[in-house]
Amino acid sequence: MLGRSLLGLQDEEWREMRHHLSPAFTGSKLRGMSGLIESTCEKFNEFLAKRVDQADEPLDIYNSFRRLAADLIATIAFGAPSDSISDPESEFYKNGLTITDFSGKRAPIMMGFLLAPSLMKWLGISFIQQRLTDFFTSKIFGVIKYREENNKTRADMIQLLLDVRSGDQKKDISNMDITSQAFSFFLGGFDTMATAFSFVSHCLALHPEVQAKVREEVKEVMSKHDNKMDYEATKELLYMDMVISEVLRLYPVAPMLDRLCGSTVSFPEFDLTIEKGTSVIIPVYGLHTDPDYFPDPFKFDPERFTEENKKNIKSFTYLPFGEGPRNCIGKRFALLELKIGLSKILNEYQLEVCEKTNVTNPLVYTTSSSLVQPEGGFWLNVKPLNKQ
Ligand code: HEM
């Protein structure tokens, strides 16, 4: 399944699939999907409300945001709403956790696929267990069958691919292709979204003055948009956009990128030649915290991203979503989800540090997991604004 997905395809096959999928992330498609995102984020607020009523203790925000991320992907990419937020036993969520767990016995498998994918295939080792492939495949096949038999449509990514398939040019896209792409959105957008939501919340709790300013902006924008935070409204969240940009600089979800050199290139000024076929690692975290590019790099300062200051950022030194043709296809979708989700939360809740919050600066990261996480996890107090 992964081999046919955007993440697994190479060269011409990748280019063609990317070309089909890119229209899923244009403004008009995102506008259509923003209602589904809003309603899923509202459910998350209901979960927070229950949680706050039941226990007045710190919240493990990462594990909470993972549930939100799973439900967002389920509804948008799999066309099948799941209820991971309120149901801890949700099958979709549990299977998602298993797939994205690269600790313990799965760590060498992941390393094997990164370093020697052909060898792993030759050895007959699969990246994803058959049981999980079957689960996700049957979900998507079921959704496609239902829509085709009942002539139903929905503003989500599966529909976009079905529309491409049935459109004028009748592209050769199989049900398995559609499943593979939904799956690549799951892998691309599950832990990344949960981590980004967690780091933004962490920074807002550590910097209450920034949080107050973002909340003020949210309330002002919502009051102009019938108390909603839809696609059009998010475009007015200029300060929140600066805050998110700064969080992703200080805490890039993907701290490094990799590329395979396609042709031999020379850089005479550095006396360096990179041969065709060489794996190149791009140190994103190193660039983002290099004082030559970002002075006083460990200072959390959203002002770096004002329209004026952004122009001074050197090209290719800020890479939270990668760069070039293989950059993150979900970037605009991710930013939309973050803006809607954070608006909903900040409109009703105050995020505060608690005794378990890791307040080290530079942050001390955990070494016990492959995830980018503070040592000790993400913990915050979440307090309803109306009870303050
Ligand atoms: C804040 C959240 C996110 C961050 C920080 C992020 C970051 C990234 C990065 C760094 C890459 C590699 C880019 C490169 O090598 O140049 C990538 C690729 C990718 N991302 Fe995201 N991502 C996020 C959310 C999402 C979401 C929500 C989706 C799903 C819709 C998604 C789907 C993908 C896919 C499919 C690729 C592979 C693209 C390709 O190979 O053509 N990402 N992402």
pLDDT tens for each residue of 248-299: 999 999 999 999 999 999 999 999 999 999 999 999 999 999 999 999 999 9
Question: Which residues are annotated as part of the binding site for heme?
Answer: 328
Does the beta carbon of 334 sit less than 6 angstroms from any atom of ligand 1? yes
Six-digit token string for 289: 């915290």
pLDDT, residue 387, reads 67
Does the beta carbon of 253 sit less than 6 angstroms from any atom of ligand 1? yes
Helix (H) or strand (E) holding 177: helix 175-189
Ligand 1 atom 39, closest CA: 326
- In sequence order, the β-bridge partners of residue 145 are none
Report which ligand 1 atom has the smallest distance to the Cα of 18: 41
Radius of gyration (Cα) for the chain, nearest Å? 21
Q: Measure 323 CA to ligand 1 centroid, in angstroms.
A: 10
- With the most atoms of ligand 1 within 8 angstroms of its CB, the residue from 34, 319, 328, 331 to mutate is 328
pLDDT, residue 83, reads 84
- pLDDT-derived band at 85 (thresholds 50, 70, 90) equals confident
Q: Any idea which residue has 């993440």 for tokens?
A: 7
Ligand 1 atom 41, closest CA: 326
Q: Measure 5 CA to ligand 1 centroid, in angstroms.
A: 13
Helix (H) or strand (E) holding 243: helix 238-250
Ligand 1 atom 9, closest CA: 321
Distance of CA 218 to the CA centre of its chain: 21
Please state, in angstroms and rounded to a whole number, the distance separating the CA atoms of residues 375 and 13: 40
Angle between helices 27-54 and 331-348 (to 10 degrees): 40
Does the beta carbon of 323 sit less than 6 angstroms from any atom of ligand 1? yes
- pLDDT-derived band at 168 (thresholds 50, 70, 90) equals low
Distance of CA 70 to the CA centre of its chain: 10
pLDDT, residue 163, reads 84
Ligand 1 atom 19, closest CA: 328
- With the most atoms of ligand 1 within 8 angstroms of its CB, the residue from 192, 197, 243, 323 to mutate is 192
Exposed/middle/buried for residue 269 (C-beta within 10 Å: 0-12, 13-18, 19+): exposed
Does the beta carbon of 192 sit less than 6 angstroms from any atom of ligand 1? yes
pLDDT, residue 207, reads 98
CB 288 within 8 A of CB 318: yes
Q: Measure 186 CA to ligand 1 centroid, in angstroms.
A: 10
Whether the predicted interface score ipTM is above 0.85: yes
Which is more confidently placed, 73 or 167? Answer: 73
Please state, in angstroms and rounded to a whole number, the distance separating the CA atoms of residues 195 and 162: 31
Q: Measure 158 CA to ligand 1 centroid, in angstroms.
A: 18
Q: Which of 62, 66, 56 is nearest to 379 (CA)?
A: 62
Report which ligand 1 atom has the smallest distance to the Cα of 196: 1
Q: Measure 38 CA to ligand 1 centroid, in angstroms.
A: 21
Specify the length of the chain in residues.
388
pLDDT, tens only, 17-46 = 898 888 888 899 899 999 999 999 999 999
Q: Any idea which residue has 């296809």 for tokens?
A: 329
CB 64 within 8 A of CB 102: no
pLDDT, residue 21, reads 85
The set of residues, in sequence order, having a beta carbon less than 8 Å from that of 124 and lying 6+ positions away, is: none
Q: Answer whether residue 388 shows pLDDT above 70.
A: no
Which bin fits 281, alpha (ψ -120 to 50), beta or left (φ > 0)?
beta
pLDDT, residue 149, reads 93
pLDDT, residue 110, reads 72
Does the beta carbon of 257 sit less than 6 angstroms from any atom of ligand 1? yes
Does the beta carbon of 282 sit less than 6 angstroms from any atom of ligand 1? no
